[in-house]
Chains A and B, each alone.
Chain A
Amino acid sequence: MKTPREILLARHRAAGPKLEAIRRAVVTEELNHQVTKSQSRAAGLVSSCLDGSKVFWRELIFPSRQIWAGLAAIWILIFAANVSQRDPAPAGMVKAFPSEIMSFKEQQKLLNELLADRSLPLDIERPKLFSPRPRTQIVETVVV
């Protein structure tokens, strides 16, 4: 006694080898294809970046390479000059600091004294040329 399932499967068991071949083909080829597809997607991204940089180099840099080289040289010179002109002295400043401060204070004191002598009298002696009064007062004096 057999179930309908057993009857059906037994009837088609002869197709087994062909189905095995199909299964093997799908598992090896199709899965590999899927893997290579995902790999090629990543590789495509990398290669498009590389291609972009190649195009950038070929179209923009390479035709006017002497100009770019000249610009680069000028920038290097500017940088070098900038570096050489920098004061290398924060430590030296600390050493010279007290004596210089002292002399600076003395000079400032002297300058203040000199300026003070001239400026004070000018402020005191200067007469006011015009002192504004209300218009009504002026009219009153005329009438009287």
Chain B
Amino acid sequence: MKMPEVADNEHLPVAQARTGEPAAWDALFRRYQLPLYVYVFELTRHEQASLDLVQETFIAAVKHLGGLRGDEKFGSWLFGIAHQKCVQRWRKKGGHEILFDEIPETPDDFGDSPDDLLMRREQEMEFMNLLDQLPLPQRSVLLLHFIEDFSLEEIARITETQLGTVKSRLHYAKRALRKLLEQK
């Protein structure tokens, strides 16, 4: 079977990757390499560390794909590995930023897709600045929402937090973002 160069979400060749087919792995990694890097870089703010973490994530994926239940969960599973690698790195370095702080649950409308939020060119810098200012837990959730449009359940699984916590983090992050964009 011929592999597409970049796998799309609908046709991830996970089953072929399970048999160790290099073309399948290549297509999967090509699909996720940049989104993963963006996610890891925006959390660590260090280029070389981000590249190392992406590599470690890929290696761990090759080694542990047998443990993945459900081929359609490959994307969130891969981001989960990357997230864990980031947490391990912070723990090793004794980082002050905490990924597991609890924010009280707040109900909100989460129906809007990340693509509903369109930004003008002059707003792009403000968006990136705002992202930098967000506390790490909120930034992590917002990035997962924007980069891959993961569901709340998937984000909860990736970050290993309660669903309610994810909801409240996303709520605060989006509110802060809207506020900033409206001010401008």
Contacts and interface: CB of A to CB of B under 8 A. Distances in A.
A13 B37 CA distance: 10
Interface stretch (A25-33, A80-88, A122-130): A25-33
Given A31-B20, A34-B62, A5 B115 contact: yes
Contact of B146 (A5, A13, A18): A5
Nearest to B41: A12
Given A1-B118, A27-B26, A31-B22, A8 B58 contact: no
Contact of A18 (B35, B51, B128): B51
A22 B54 contact: yes
Contacts of A5: 114-115, 146-147, 149
A12 B63 CA distance: 27
B25 interface: yes
Interface stretch (B91-99, B119-127, B161-169): B119-127
Contact of A9 (B34, B58, B127): B34
Contacts, number: 91
A95 interface: no
Contacts of B72: none
B81 to A, nearest CB: 13
B120 A19 contact: no
Contacts of B115: 3, 5
Contacts of A61: none
Given A4-B146, A31-B62, A9 B35 contact: yes
B38 A12 contact: yes
B33 interface: yes
B172 interface: no
A74 to B, nearest CB: 55
A12 B119 contact: no
B74 interface: no
B62 A30 contact: yes
B41 A7 contact: no
Contacts of A25: 55
A2 interface: yes
Interface in B1-59: 20, 22, 25-26, 29-30, 33-35, 37-38, 41-42, 47, 50-51, 54-55, 58-59
Interface in A54-79: none
A15 interface: yes
B62 A8 contact: no
Given A4-B114, A27-B22, A34-B20, A15 B37 contact: yes
A11 to B, nearest CB: 7
In the A-B complex, the 7 residue pairs with the closest CB atoms: A4-B146, A1-B118, A26-B58, A19-B33, A23-B29, A3-B115, A22-B55
19 contacts: A1-B118, A1-B119, A1-B120, A3-B115, A3-B117, A3-B119, A4-B117, A5-B114, A7-B127, A7-B128, A12-B34, A12-B41, A15-B37, A15-B41, A23-B26, A23-B58, A26-B58, A30-B58, A30-B63
